[in-house]
Amino acid sequence: MLKGPLGGLIAGGAAGSVLSGGLSDLLKQLQQGGHGETANSWVGSGPNKVISPGDLANALGADQIDQLSSQSGLSRDELLNGLSQYLPQVVDHLTPDGRLPTEDELSGRV
């Protein structure tokens, strides 16, 4: 789905780093950050709502962004721009039934 450092981070890392606490934890972080409607659009049917790099940074927090930046070798801006562009598609891909997958289902989709 993706190429380059961000692709590696998302392919191995969307389930690994960004989703390290689990897909439900990621969605919870977004909901608590005021982006629940956006996150829910990625899981449900219909078009995915956009999230800005700044809103994503606020929802994930500086520590998580720094960790992801270090793991990927991308600058903070490159990382946030890429995640804001591709994370909705990745979550959409991981939730084709419009629900959170089980751990076994998730590992088979990454």
Tens-digit pLDDT profile for residues 13-59: 443 445 445 678 888 889 999 999 999 999 888 899 999 999 999 99
Tens-digit pLDDT profile for residues 73-107: 888 998 899 889 888 888 888 888 888 777 677 66
d(CA 13, CA 42): 18
Q: pTM of this prediction?
A: 0.74
